[in-house]
Structure formats: C-alpha cells, structure tokens
Amino acid sequence: MRKGVAFVLATCVLGLAALVARPGPVVRWLARRYPDVLFRLETEAPHVALTIDDSPHPEITPGILDVLAEHGAHATFFVIGDYVPGNEEIVRRMVAEGHELGNHLMSDAPSHRLPVAEFERQLLQTHELLAPYGPVRWCRPGHGWFNRRMLGQLHRHGYRCAMASAYSLEVRPTSARYAARHILLNARPGAVIVLHDGVGTGRQTVAVLRRVLPDLRRRGYRVATLSELAEAERLPQGDGSSPAPATPAPPRSSNPAP
C-alpha cells in the first residue's frame, strides 16, 4: 500500500473511532456551523433530553412508555405521519403522560433526497396529523439528513431542526449493554439522547432504557423532553445575575400556514 493512501486510511479510521467513542468535538463543530439546529443545549443544569425516533408502533411503543413512566422520565417522540392512523390511542397516551410530539415527516426515508415541494408537503401533512394532540415545534428530518434549504423551510413553518449529541449506535448489531454504555459515556448537562422505536431496534430500546434511566437518576439527571430542556436553558442558573441565553426559534402550536 502506498504511504499516502495508508495515511488517509489511518486518519479516516482514527476519525471514525473518535466520532464513535466520543462524538463531543464533532457535535460542537456542527453546532457552531449550524446554529439553527439543536444538537445539545447550553446548560449547567443536570438535565438531558431523550428523543425517540420512528414512533409509534403498536407493539413496541407501549413498552417504551411503560419504562419511561416507571422512571419518571419524559421524551420527545419523533412521529412518522404514516404510522399515526390506527395508532391514535398511543399518540394520545404519549401526550397524556407528559411526553412531546416531534415531526419526523411522513415516511422513514432520507429527507435530503426529497424534492423541495415534497419535503414541505410531508412536513405539513405530518403536522396536520399531530397538531390536534398538542404543540409540535421540533422536526428531525428522515435519517438525520438536513441541508440549509430544509432549515429555511422548517424556519418558515415555525419549526426548529433537532439532532442529538448522545447516540447509542443501536442501528448496528450491538448489545443493549454496549448501547447503554455509549449513551452514558456521552451524557452530560444539556445532552440530547436519541433512541429508536419500531420492530428493528425498538425492542432493544426498552432494554437500553432499563439500564440508562436508573444510572442517570443516580447521577442526579432529570430526563426531559426537548422543550423542557430548552426551558431549562432559558432559566438563569446560579444567582440569576447572568443574562439568559438566546431562546430557540419561536415554537408554534397552531397549524402551519397552508
């Protein structure tokens, strides 16, 4: 192998290893580059946000809701519009138990491949489905892909794009123990944790939460929705003499303009 190729390969492998083990520096760099996007919140308060993607699922979501209730934890569920019909009772239960709904568009597909008009159509259609249940202000594009054009569309409709800072690597064939360890390694004040619902990895999510939630509680963390975490960021810490940081994009709770 040529020396140059080996160097590039080694750099890529080391970079990937750093990202997998400790995504912190990459997340900080992305957050600076895309200030409109929420990766984590600036707070010293012992709060983390929990987000669950690809909900609801008739067999999996109730188990996730049960374990959250057992541990007094709240989450923002990123709901796929196509999954709502037939699962209305589960969506209602989410809101009734203090969780928050987020917009994950109509299908589980990479959003950056959608034509401009189709992205907007799916955003609004999913919003129409969710708005009757409660305020919807966060969007996580499909497969976590976003670009500046999509950010503009979200902003126009009163949404803010939400990504995450603590991943479980559960899309890979890892054990619940390993996934939980990886989340706990990256849990710090203001972190946004992401896990998945559904038959693929959702079954493991319950096992991961059973490991993560008691540990976070022992460490003094409150597990909250994105909006609860954003609220904590706005509250002055300490003696309250420091100015409150800038607030996120204004949320909307009504239907977006057609």
**Residues labelled catalytic:** 53, 196
- Taking the least distance from each CB to Zn ion, the nearer of 53 and 233 is 53
Measured from the CB of residue 144, what is the shortest distance to Zn ion in angstroms?
A: 8
* Contact (Cβ atoms closer than 8 angstroms) between residue 49 and residue 225: yes
Angle at 110 between CA 255 and CA 123, to 5 degrees: 5
Q: Tell me if 100 contacts Zn ion by CB under 5 A.
A: no
Is position 54 an interface residue for Zn ion (rule: CB under 5 A)?
Answer: yes
Tell me the site size for Zn ion, rule CB under 5 A. 3
Q: How far apart are CA 81 and CA 54, in angstroms?
A: 9
C-alpha gyration radius of the chain: 18
Please list the residues that pair with 76 across neighbouring strands: 51, 100
Pick from 53, 170, 197, 233: which binds Zn ion (CB under 5 A)?
Answer: 53
Contact status, residue 28 vs residue 171, Cβ threshold 8 Å: no
Smallest separation (angstroms) from Zn ion to the CB of 151:
18
Could you tell me the smallest distance in angstroms from the CB atom of residue 2 to Zn ion? 40
Contact between 233 and Zn ion per CB under 5 A: no
Where do the H-state alpha helices sit in 49-165? Answer: 61-70, 88-96, 116-130, 148-156
Per CB under 5 A, which region of 38-46, 49-57, 110-118, 226-234 contacts Zn ion? 49-57
Minimum separation from the CB atom of position 81 to Zn ion (A): 12
For residues 112 and 118, what is the distance between their CA atoms, to the nearest angstrom?
11
Contact range with Zn ion by CB under 5 A, out of 23-31, 61-69, 105-113, 222-230: 105-113
Q: Which stretch binds Zn ion (CB under 5 A): 64-72, 108-116, 122-130, 247-255?
A: 108-116
Rounded Cα–Cα distance for residues 53 and 39 (Å): 15
Q: Which residues bind Zn ion (CB under 5 A)?
A: 53-54, 108
